[in-house]
Amino acid sequence: MDIMDLLQGQISEGVLDQLTQQIGASDKKQTAAATAGIMNTLVGALAKNASKPEGAAALNNALERDHDGSVLTDLMGMFSNKTTQVEQENPRAVNGTGILKHILGDRQGNAIDMVSKLSGLDSGKTGNLMTMLAPMLMGALGQTKRQQGLDVGGLANLLTGTVTQQKQQNPTMGLVTRFLDSDGDGSIVDDVANIGMKMLGGLFGRKK
């Protein structure tokens, strides 16, 4: 299974509208493009982290402890800054800032710059969007782990399989993996313009 399929299924037109409004953007297409770029980046980073046994174990533990997928039941609430029941019961499940620190570490700033250039969305709004989307990604992973009974190895295989599949379909994932392999020094950001927003928008910007 490709985790991107599940993520795409969660991001409806209504959710995109909500995200666009919440970050103060004016163009939903840019939000859609940035959302796709963020998901590619975070999935790529998780796959890279999970390629090492200690990284896979840490991710597995985090999912078991904090991310059972319940955040997916009220995305509109979570994306409108309401205090949802999930947040009341487990604040870590929706702590996008903390999640990003674990996933990207000191590469977060360069990752935001890359997605910003890809989508045309300014870096401040891109950073806010990344913080909002990170809990959704972890929830989707946690739900998949629980439904499919994935162990540490299964989780790592799901992520690497998703990256492989996306690289065949989507030039953005190739760019993301190069960025991550370069230790996030930002040197490949100049290549971003060659891909453009049009490629990205198709993933999460579906017509009704």
**pLDDT score of 197 more than 80:** no
Residues 6+ apart with CB under 8 A from 193: 117
Confidence of residue 193 (pLDDT cuts 50, 70, 90): low
Asked whether 103 and 45 are in contact (CB, 8 A), the reply is yes
Asked whether 49 and 55 are in contact (CB, 8 A), the reply is yes
pLDDT at position 188 is: 55
- The total of structural domains in the chain comes to 1
Most confident of the ranges 32-36, 177-181, 194-198:
32-36
* Tokens (6 digits) for 171: 């030039």
* Tokens (6 digits) for 9: 């299924």
pTM of the model: 0.89
Asked whether 32 and 201 are in contact (CB, 8 A), the reply is yes
Q: What mean pLDDT value characterizes the chain?
A: 88
Q: pLDDT by residue (tens digit) across 39-84? A: 999 999 999 999 999 999 999 999 999 999 999 998 988 898 778 8
Q: pLDDT by residue (tens digit) across 105-145? A: 999 999 999 999 889 999 999 999 999 999 999 999 999 99
**Helix, strand, coil percent content, the chain, rounded in steps of 5:** 80, 0, 20
Q: Which domain holds residue 84?
A: 3-204
Least confident residue range of 78-87, 175-184, 186-195: 186-195
pLDDT at position 182 is: 75
pLDDT at position 208 is: 36
Asked whether 35 and 43 are in contact (CB, 8 A), the reply is no
SS (H, E, C) 70-96: HHHHHHHHHCCCCCCHHHHHCHHHHCH
